[in-house]
Structure 1
Amino acid sequence: MKAPLENVGEFARVRGRRALASGLVAAALLLVACGGAGDGDKGERARTDTTCDGRIDGTAQVTVWFHAGPSAESTTLRRQVQDFNTSQRQVRVEVVTLPEQRPYNELVLSAAASGDLPDLLDFDGPRLYSYAWSGRIKPIDSCLSDGLREDLLPSIRQQGTYAGRLYGIGTFDSGLGLYVRPSVLKKAGIRIPEGPADAWTAGEFTGILRTLRGAGYRHPLDMGLVHARPGEEWSTYGFAPAVWSAGGELIDPRTFRTADGFLNGPASVRALTTLQNWAGEGLVEPGRNDQAFDQGRSVISWTGHWRYPDYAEHFPGDVTIVPLPDFGEGTVTGMGSWQWGLTSGGADGDAVWRFLTYLLKPDQIHRMTEANGAIPATDSAVKLSPEYAEGGAEHLFIEQLRGGVARPRPRTPAYPAITEAFSRAFPKIMIDRAPVKATLDEAVEAIDKDLAAHDGYPRNGS
């Protein structure tokens, strides 16, 4: 994988036909130096866009931006690009990898401001709503065949939809749950849930953690607090499900016009108070590193699909994935991962879609998910992965994504402000033991300030 500064240079070379404005180059260098809506399937059926008309005139050049994620993921995409280019001559794809996380998003915003976005952009799923609202990406309903649409996991369609139209599509999704050591739990007389319908209640889970501490595990639960830092997505992705499970919300789910009374409402406060109490009792690994489960200090890990290979390697035959606790309204889990979007004003939509169609082939999805350990985005690709089949070690993730247990993060352009505020509040609550209600009030104030600054992010001028 190339270093970030080399990637910026590569971008400048690849885009010679549409040179970067000097402001973007300066912004990119500065950023790297610093280290730095309730729409259902019915709405998804709308086919009113003209992004794809079914033909490609002549030959086309397509430039792609890709986040510099795990090396295996980046390497796989580059090989897919090479194979696609070799397989046909009508569309030529050039890929550029750029820094992940916040520098990546800021590079996108800078490029959009100067008119230098690539033709195809990948982004963390919840960013889609902001990009769609601002017109940076265009709807793709006209590009999908009915067969592909039906093949996509419902969570992929849901995550990619804004204002009733599909703007994004991913080749993989994510899963969240509790990893447990069955041998330890059985020895302690603790029942192991078989699925979402019999998830542990929050009260039951509190008792389980106390039992495990009595069995000699000082901090039986690892919640990844080492990653709970301001600006990091883990806090919102990982623990918004506890809020939702208790009946709370991060923002008004009907209007998306305020967070007041929702993020700081009684249910949200109750859920986060429960989590804080676990930490206060010392039941939670304090965040020294992210190896508490691997090293046997913790025997339950609240985390995502990406940890399964490591955990299974450390404890062969002794790792099971169970649902997150039920905080009162049923277990809820997270969903959503990196998606692709066609930028406005970019290359011919059919040319870009030709490449995406290639990436969405079952064997190509399998190729990528074998590299990054993520969940295949289509039913046909899932069939190529035994671990997600009935009885497979990671089947719970598919069950949750298909069964409505998984929820997308709020589908609103205000999501960047929401996750920024939540990611600042969560470590204050869990690590600093700040008062829950007052801390959430501060988060609400920040979110509502952003909403006011954008007039509530009106759709189509409404």
Structure 2
Amino acid sequence: MSAQRAQLSRRGFLGGSILFVAGAAVGCSTSPSGGASAGAKTTLNVWSHAYGEAGTQQALTRYATEFTKANPDIAVKVTWTPGDYSSKLYATLLTDSAPDVFEIGDFSESLARRGQIAQLDDLYGSAKSDFNPGDLDAVTVDGKLYGVKTLDDVVMLYYRKSALSKAGITPPDSFDALVAAAKALTGKKTKGLFLGNDGVSEGAALAVFSNGGDLVTDGKAAFGSPQAAEAVAGLKRLHDDRSLLLGFTTDWWDPAALTQNVVPMQLGGLWSMPAIRTALGDDFGILPWPAFKAGGKPVVRVGGWTSCVNAKGKNVSAAKKFVQWLWIQQTDLQKDWSESYGFHIPPRMSVAASADKLAQGLAKESVELAANYGRHNPSTWNSAVSNLFTAAAAKIVSGQGDAARLLADAAKQAQSEIDKQRA
């Protein structure tokens, strides 16, 4: 899931004791782990955002303990950080209290360009060819690797099989079909589709990708293109038809609108599949965001989290050793992390192929969707850039201006923000 949305997600709003480091709120930390930690020469501080899935904090602490048992000279302190993780992390990175290892959501190339994170090419070795190529591309800056993906999440469309069947609707395989289905499934008390409380959310970017457009290309804001304008303008049809559920009690990342029979179709993440299956049994299916028109391509959004090493820290060598050990060498722990405390795709292809929960049915289909149609957000897609795009999209779908002009203006403003990151 996007780091920008983490504070709003199923993983956000979690409790825990709060400390304050250099003025930034920081979550509680474990004691340095491992039976031999008392004799360690180095103690690493490893930051994690507060995952909402039960057992995740304990799992990370256990992994740290196992690492120290294998490397008695290095102890590991896991700092569990609830709330607005990204803001706390970026504030702390400017201080002497910066962690040695930390995770980030959508990868930010600005961290690499200003020398904040270390190159990690030397960690991959022969395992590099086993990583999903899209995951490698996502952490590459100027041909160098600056992170290791720890899990992949997939954003796609869920639908109720029975609701579509009763209405005589085939699962939509084009944007026109999606619009028609949402309209047909909308009644006096129900709406046909939930994209998010603002009626835009991830849908705007997915629409652009599905029409052959892009968000940022080679450091240039690309969402001012005709393809982007046409696709985002297309979303207005859903608003004009009043087919979208707006202002629900939770947002798109929570499957409640679908599982509580409020809508028959909803944007959602792979992480929601276990809860949806518990609520609906086999009465659901999944779809990529459909191609906008002939010549376009279906798309799913691939997000997740990436482990990085603080290049300005005092323990770079030990930090790299920890990242290599856990996220490249320990395939059993990588499988455990993705399967046992939620539902995610391991970035290493061999690990994903061996994951029992991903081996059949809709789970396997989601892995295939990610492989065939997955798109990551650009590495310059920070909150400043994405907010400009989303604000323009919101105006377009609500009929507040011409799509081409609004997106062109937003792209011009976004370019200055992108340039700052790449300076």
User: TM above 0.5, one fold?
Assistant: yes
2:352 alignment counterpart: 382
Amino acid of the residue matched to residue 142 of structure 1?
Answer: D
Deviation at 1:96, TM superposition (A): 0.9
How far apart, CA to CA, are the structure 2 residues paired with 1:64 and 1:347?
Answer: 13
Amino acid of the residue matched to residue 220 of structure 1?
Answer: G
Structure 1 residue 206 corresponds to structure 2 residue 179: yes
Is the 2:179–2:238 Cα contact (8 Å) retained in structure 1?
yes
Deviation at 1:179, TM superposition (A): 0.7
Aligned length: 388
CA RMSD between the two structures: 2.8
Deviation at 1:315, TM superposition (A): 0.4
1:407 alignment counterpart: 375
Amino acid of the residue matched to residue 124 of structure 1?
Answer: G
TM-score computed with the length of structure 2 as normaliser: 0.82
1:65 alignment counterpart: 47
Is the 2:68–2:75 Cα contact (8 Å) retained in structure 1?
yes
* Structure 2 counterpart SS, 1:376: coil
Structure 1 residue 224 corresponds to structure 2 residue 202: no
TM-score computed with the length of structure 1 as normaliser: 0.76
1:396 alignment counterpart: 365
Deviations 1:284-334 (A, max 9, x none): 111222332121121111121122122111100111112111113111221
Structure 1 residue 125 corresponds to structure 2 residue 106: yes
How far apart, CA to CA, are the structure 2 residues paired with 1:388 and 1:190?
Answer: 28
* Structure 2 counterpart SS, 1:83: helix
1:288 alignment counterpart: 248
Query: Which residue, out of 310, 321, 329, partners 1:343?
Result: 310
Deviation at 1:227, TM superposition (A): 9.0
1:45 alignment counterpart: none
Deviation at 1:451, TM superposition (A): 4.0
* Structure 2 counterpart SS, 1:394: helix
1:10-409 to 2 correspondences below 5 Å: 25-26=22-23, 28-29=24-25, 59-72=41-54, 73-101=56-84, 104-127=85-108, 129-146=109-126, 148-192=127-171, 200-213=173-186, 218-225=190-197, 235=201, 237-251=202-216, 253-254=217-218, 256-257=219-220, 259=221, 262-290=222-250, 291-328=256-293, 329-360=296-327, 361-369=330-338, 370-389=340-359, 391-403=360-372, 405-409=373-377
How far apart, CA to CA, are the structure 2 residues paired with 1:186 and 1:149?
Answer: 44
1:434 alignment counterpart: 400
Amino acid of the residue matched to residue 117 of structure 1?
Answer: A
Is the 1:220–1:300 Cα contact (8 Å) retained in structure 2?
yes
How far apart, CA to CA, are the structure 2 residues paired with 1:136 and 1:267?
Answer: 35
Deviations 1:29-87 (A, max 9, x none): 5x99xxxxxxxxxxxxxxxxxxxxxxxxx843211111123153333222322333345
How far apart, CA to CA, are the structure 2 residues paired with 1:2 and 1:383?
Answer: 33
Q: Is the deviation greater in 155-164 or in 182-191?
A: 182-191
How far apart, CA to CA, are the structure 2 residues paired with 1:380 and 1:325?
Answer: 28
How far apart, CA to CA, are the structure 2 residues paired with 1:2 and 1:292?
Answer: 20
1:55 alignment counterpart: none
Is the 2:199–2:246 Cα contact (8 Å) retained in structure 1?
no
Deviation at 1:168, TM superposition (A): 0.8
How far apart, CA to CA, are the structure 1 residues paired with 2:243 and 2:394?
Answer: 16
2:3 alignment counterpart: none
Deviation at 1:347, TM superposition (A): 4.4
Deviation at 1:5, TM superposition (A): 8.4
Task: Identify if the C-alpha distance between structure 1 residues 368 and 263 changes in structure 2 by more than 3 Å, giving closer, same or farther.
Answer: same
* Structure 2 counterpart SS, 1:356: helix
Structure 1 residue 8 corresponds to structure 2 residue 19: yes
How far apart, CA to CA, are the structure 1 residues paired with 2:249 and 2:395?
Answer: 18
Percent identity of paired positions between Structure 1 and Structure 2: 23
Is the 2:179–2:237 Cα contact (8 Å) retained in structure 1?
no
How far apart, CA to CA, are the structure 1 residues paired with 2:272 and 2:416?
Answer: 36
How far apart, CA to CA, are the structure 2 residues paired with 1:439 and 1:68?
Answer: 36
Amino acid of the residue matched to residue 184 of structure 1?
Answer: A
